[in-house]
């Protein structure tokens, strides 16, 4: 009896050890998407009145958690009964990520001078501000849903050949870490300038170390968000390219002499611009305006 109990404990320990290793691998694989998730949410959660930034972020965070509660059971059912669908969704998701990364580069090169040119300055009522806020939260939650699908599917793709219990533990762990980690870091980022203003306010003079730290924090916020956007774009293309290289047999055997990171980025970039070209062609044919 006792030997059976200790054997069970030994099996549980072995499973948890295996899960810890797989979780580490899955977290590394999803890191690229998390970079983009971080950049997107930092951008969407900033620009509000300082008193509304955290409530907005909390609303988006709750939406993100609900997204994952919807996605996870569907992903596990597919894995259990139709595992090939996970690979198909993974490749389609990679195509979307490559397209998004290419679109960001295209926008930066060809449209950055036009951003904000058509924005009309006006005074908003409190009701209009709340309505704009609600729309931004909805938009952020929709974007999060797409990114959450990718996080879950990529994490699932790393453990697709493991037992279902291991898949559930690993992918659920990654999903929780993604939500708590991303939104926790975003909360710190969007409050960076507020912390800076408080330090400046409490500095005894305009030359002290407290004043300079506060000034650095205030000036750093837009630069941090821009940097995250750049890092996120590179990460999108790397993640997409990695999916193509490892899940499409033909591409896997092309250019074997290339370093893995160069190969993955190149395939992500090229396929992304091909997808962007096709989408833009369809927009032109059907008269869909670029926004």
Q: Within a domain: residue 216?
A: no
Region 229-252 average pLDDT? 82
Q: Within a domain: residue 198?
A: no
| The most confident of 31-45, 90-104, 110-124, 207-221, by mean pLDDT | 90-104
Residue partners of 137: CB distance under 8 A and separation at least 6: 56, 59, 60, 63
Higher pLDDT, 226 or 98: 98
Q: Within a domain: residue 218?
A: no
Q: What is the DSSP letter of 288?
A: P
pLDDT of residue 217: 78
Give, in degrees to the nearest 5, the angle at Cα 269 between 39 and 272. Answer: 85
Domain that includes residue 67, residue range: 2-192+224-285
Q: Within a domain: residue 186?
A: yes
Residues 240, 176: Cα–Cα separation, whole Å = 22
Q: Within a domain: residue 217?
A: no
Extract the runs of DSSP E, i.e. beta strands, from the chain: none
Specify whether the CB–CB gap between 266 and 241 falls below 8 A.
Answer: yes
pLDDT of residue 119: 42
Decide if pLDDT at 187 tops 60. Answer: yes
Q: Within a domain: residue 200?
A: no
pLDDT of residue 1: 46
pLDDT of residue 90: 81
Decide if pLDDT at 176 tops 80. Answer: yes
Residues 199, 193: Cα–Cα separation, whole Å = 10
Specify whether the CB–CB gap between 167 and 160 falls below 8 A.
Answer: yes
Residues 169, 23: Cα–Cα separation, whole Å = 9
Residues 130, 124: Cα–Cα separation, whole Å = 10
Total tally of structural domains belonging to the chain:
1
Residues 44, 31: Cα–Cα separation, whole Å = 20
Q: Within a domain: residue 199?
A: no
Q: Within a domain: residue 102?
A: yes
Specify whether the CB–CB gap between 252 and 81 falls below 8 A.
Answer: no
């Amino acid at each position: 009896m006792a030997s059976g109990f200790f054997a069970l404990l030994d099996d549980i320990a072995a499973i948890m050890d295996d899960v810890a290793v797989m979780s580490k691998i899955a977290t590394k694989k999803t890191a690229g998407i998390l970079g983009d998730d971080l950049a997107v949410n930092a951008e969407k959660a900033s620009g509000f009145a300082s008193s509304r930034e955290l409530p907005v972020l909390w609303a988006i965070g709750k939406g993100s958690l609900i997204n994952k509660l919807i996605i996870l059971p569907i992903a596990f059912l597919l894995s259990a009964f139709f595992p090939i669908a996970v690979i198909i969704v993974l490749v389609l998701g990679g195509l979307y990520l490559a397209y998004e990364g290419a679109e960001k580069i295209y926008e930066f090169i060809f449209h950055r001078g036009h951003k904000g040119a058509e924005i009309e300055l006006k005074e908003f009522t409190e009701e209009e501000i709340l309505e704009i806020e609600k729309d931004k939260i909805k938009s952020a939650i929709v974007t999060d849903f797409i990114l959450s699908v990718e996080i879950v599917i990529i994490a699932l793709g790393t453990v697709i050949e493991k037992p279902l219990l291991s898949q559930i533990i690993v992918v659920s762990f990654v999903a929780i870490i993604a939500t708590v980690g991303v939104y926790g870091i975003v909360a710190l980022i969007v409050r960076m300038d507020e912390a800076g203003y408080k330090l400046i306010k409490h500095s005894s003079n305009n030359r002290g170390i407290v004043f300079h730290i506060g000034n650095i924090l205030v000036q750093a916020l837009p630069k941090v968000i821009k940097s995250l956007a750049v890092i996120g774009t590179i990460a999108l293309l790397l993640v997409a390219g990695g999916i193509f290289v490892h899940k499409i047999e033909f591409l896997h055997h092309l250019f074997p002499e290339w370093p893995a990171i160069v190969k993955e980025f190149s395939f992500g970039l090229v396929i992304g611009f091909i997808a962007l070209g096709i989408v833009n062609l369809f927009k032109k044919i059907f008269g869909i305006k670029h926004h």
